Structure 1
């Protein structure tokens, strides 16, 4: 039986979890939720959910994975096969998130390549409907030349997928090739790459923040971001959004924390990691909000509109509103390249760990079949190839509808449900882990703060 690999240095594990937790949701999802749920008032339920849900469950999963030393599926064989479905559920969610993340990365790569020009392509329409015709001749009705007839790329609905966008498909293929290259040797190669992917986004965020704060009207966007509407705290939706965002942002209950921690030394300080990494993630979300809303304030100033009227959530914020704002800046291609490079780096940092989680789950479940030399590499190649093919429907003209379905129904409450069951099972059923969990300060912490709250 091959010996299980371990992280080369403890710092590799920390950077991997930081990259796993800090992702695209910190840039577009958290700032929009603040806007939607009362500005600065949203920080109150967010921090409460972080302390009462995020940190305890994060610590429980890391401790459980470190104790068992197995992937998120096979780890239950050593505790109780009856709850093996929890591991399978986490792996299933991770697999879907892999496809979801890679679609967003493909968009980011497409915009990144499109930004490498003297003039951003979306600064004007540049199609047949925008050409100025001057002639003294009589013209027949040429309304059929309208771009909405000839160049329409919008689908009529979820049942109308339309044609496949080949340019986005090539970007998606490139993304999966990068994932395979990084994960071809497992954590040995992943542990080296995370030094860049986990730190470089902070450099780009800082550059964009400095540039954004120098823009006229930026202070209005920041005030809008921070101004609290305390009356929103009585709305249950605000609290549910905070809980869902904590689980989504920390990547909890997806099997990844167990998988990454399974490569730790048995004596690693779990409590330190369980507190430090969620706090870093929370601070990053808050920091990214300044980057986004400083630019939105500038855009509102340019349009003469309130900030609320130029704000969108999700992909619309990252790929519509923000890019449009970049066109109004001097040297706009440079800032566009930096912004989309940051998005791609954030996406890859989460995608690497999510894909490794999915692969680790099956490799540990079938070690004799998949954990030997060339078979392991071939399996990783097959996973990346399958992910590329399964993501193609989301790259059609109607693919955005499918992406919205994944965002609405897969990334939120399924993880909350898995988290509830994990808390009950680990904290109350498995008494034989008492000594270990108490030794690292997790058992009572998880029970007191999570179970009673639920």
Structure 2
């Protein structure tokens, strides 16, 4: 077991970090209790906290809402097999890479790339951009959970039976054409419009209040310095698992459950050739593990005994969670498909007969004797012929099923998980209590994820933009987040969430992760990275992973990007799922041209940020010296003219930053450079800054000094003493 010195910084390094970064009170900081705890306890505690943070962030980000409807859309077992291959073949190495970088440098995302490859610092700013996008539409998901939580206090639960809205005529039988849970989702929770263009000018009050409560709560956590204890973190992780297991056990006994579960586990080879399915599975690997957001690198503070094992464990828990939630959704879908159509008519006739016998309904509400032998549409026609007051009572007392025949593919939108879980909660005794606990646990879980994302955004902005006024960052972030997320509280807000979730964010993540991988493996160098990790952590990276980072990962990410562009620009226009209230079913509609232009501009915004930072670096970075290094050197009294020119070191790759001198003497030093460095402007403006900044953070291996290095150090010390 290593000592504490292996896991802690020296006083000088710690003071430098405190001078450049701002720590938050909700971070798990084991340094505060080092004086009172034993080294073994500290190591176990820090590792346990680090693993919990990784699991809480990576597992629940996409396993709850995104994976079930992607699996349902792409045929069940085929998508699971494809996702399994990509998760462990590509996702684990990329997660392993970000964890190593984060623990090695222990900086925010911008500072990490500023030290590794300064002229690609735009990758760090792209991480912030992606994090902002994800946090915006995740706040909309939290507002949906808040609305369901508020409705859970109503008894009986409002999505248990058809609810007739005040502005809807009681003769409207649309709620009988589908299950009440889906009707409640589109008509009550979203007030969904018939297209993405209609309804964008009208804000929904209950969703706007949910967004306000979400961002105000996040603002209180940041400004009041509320600490997230281990108990809260643990409960936010394990409590949803307990609830999901209860829902799974109850759903197994539903009618038609095993048929739907068999469909989920059945692999169809015909669907394996679909490029769209491979693209969706690959992009979901990046999204579910939190890759490309910069959060994994910023939060990877703990040192693990085996990084590969930790990354594989996180991926395995991610897979188990995804399969658990998807199983519940498929079981509920099978129940809906089995109880729809003629079966629903039988249940309705039996229910009405029971209520008539109890005196709740009059004899006029009794269906004809031969109703069970008629088509389901005759039952709807019979309800239409009833008096107005009887129509309302019959609709209110109708069972939770669809008169129209529904197949297992009857719902494909992002709200599939909300609708399915609201149905599963109804199956438990004391449904209102379980609904309150379930949606409260989901809100806590989503807020923990949002806190981690915003923590990294605020930390970076405090270090580079709001240096003098760090307290203003939470105000700007929360106010801007609330105003930016208001578009998701409109009647077409759910369609805009789908646009971000299906098209914009996946392509953005692919671009950002591609630049991250290429910058580290090819520009900084995979071999240098292995040496740095060995020197800093004493951990030797296997050569197979460097081969994956250098060759396999870039090719895989480029393939995903090409497939994405081909699907969106060389195939029929991309479509989205809308709600047709007249027939109470989902329909597909193509995106308009202006929406595609918006999709294009937002998808390639990280690329513009990276290219913009590259041009800025090329235009303004005249001297291959880090600005922080110049500030430190300017504080020292260094003569403007040295007695004699400083010789170029015999080992350029190990050049020390102490050899840098005042910019006024740059011309005399340039003539001492090799001919290639003087004649190549790219080498001067791009390569040298990366080498200087990289070598300043890489701890060299302990080697026996040679006579040449001793001679160079003597010459250097002589000049510095002058």
Pick the TM interval, shorter chain: 0.7 to 0.9
- Structure 1 distance, partners of 2:440, 2:61, is 12
- Please say if residues 522 and 550 of structure 2, whose CA atoms lie closer than 8 Å, have aligned partners that are also in contact: no
Further displaced range: 101-110 or 213-222:
213-222
- Aligned-residue CA RMSD (Å): 2.9
Where in structure 2 are the equivalents of 1:49-448 lying within 5 Å?
49-122=86-159, 123-128=161-166, 129-131=168-170, 154=193, 156-158=195-197, 160-184=199-223, 189=228, 193-261=232-300, 263-264=301-302, 269-304=306-341, 305=405, 307-315=407-415, 317-323=416-422, 331-366=430-465, 368-369=467-468, 375-376=470-471, 378-431=472-525, 432-437=528-533, 439-442=538-541, 444-448=543-547
Give unpaired runs (5+ residues) of structure 1: 133-147
Q: Distance in 1 between matches of 2:549 and 2:197?
A: 39
Structure having the higher helix fraction is 1
CA distance 1:320–1:284, change in 2 (3 Å)? closer
Cα distance in 2 between the residues matched to 1:386 and 1:51? 37
Deviations 1:236-256 (A, max 9, x none): 222111101101111111111
Shift in Å, 1:443: 6.5
- The 2-side partners of 1:404 and 1:436 are apart by 42
Aligned to 2:54: 17
Quote the offset at 1:295 in angstroms: 1.9
The one of the two structures with greater contact order (alpha-carbon pairs below 8 A, sep at least 6) is 1
C-alpha distance in structure 2 between counterparts of 1:328 and 1:194, whole Å: 28
- Say whether the 8 Å CA contact 1:68–1:75 is kept in structure 2: yes
Match of residue 82 from structure 2: 45
Distance 1:86 1:186, change over 3 A: farther
Q: Deviations over 1:408-448 (max 9, x none)?
A: 33321211121122111112222443223455354634432
Q: 1:7 and 1:280, CA in 2 relative to 1: closer, same or farther beyond 3 A? A: farther
Distance 1:84 1:185 in 2: 32
Stretches (4+) displaced over 6 A: none
Taking structure 1 as reference, are residues 112 and 31 closer, same or farther at Cα in structure 2, changes over 3 Å only?
same
**Residue by residue, what CA displacement relative to the aligned partner does 1:27-70 show, whole Å, maximum 9, x if unpaired?**
23222222332321222221211122100111111111111111
Partners of 1:451 and 1:158 in 2: CA distance: 44
Deviation at 1:162, TM superposition (A): 2.9
Structure 2 residues not aligned, in runs of 5+: 1-15, 31-45, 172-186, 342-404, 556-722
Which TM-score applies when normalising by structure 2? Answer: 0.55
Match of 2:63 among 20, 26, 32: 26
Measure the CA separation in 1 of the matches of 2:318 and 2:428. Answer: 29
CA distance in structure 2 between the partners assigned to 1:46 and 1:341 by the alignment: 29
Report the Cα offset of residue 155 of structure 1.
Answer: 5.9
Q: Based on CA coordinates, which of the two structures has the bigger radius of gyration?
A: 2
Counterpart-to-counterpart distance in 2, 1:334 and 1:188 = 28
Structure 1 pair 312/323, CA: closer, same or farther in 2 (3 Å)?
Answer: farther
SS at match of 1:253: coil
Counterpart of 2:654 in structure 1 is none
User: CA–CA distance in 2 between the matches of 1:257 and 1:232?
Assistant: 33
Judge which range, 182-191 or 167-176, deviates more.
182-191
C-alpha offsets along residues 77-116 of structure 1, whole Å, 9 cap, x if unaligned? 2222111111111110001111110110101110111111
Distance 1:445 1:364 in 2: 36
Task: Figure out how many residues of one structure are paired with residues of the other and give that number.
Answer: 430
Deviation readout 1:278-325 (Å, 9 max, x if unpaired): 22112211121112212222222222556523342412x033454356
Name the SS of the counterpart of 1:369 in structure 2.
coil
Q: Where does residue 551 of structure 2 map in the other structure? A: 452
Deviation (angstroms), 1:20: 0.9
- TM-score normalised over the length of structure 1: 0.85
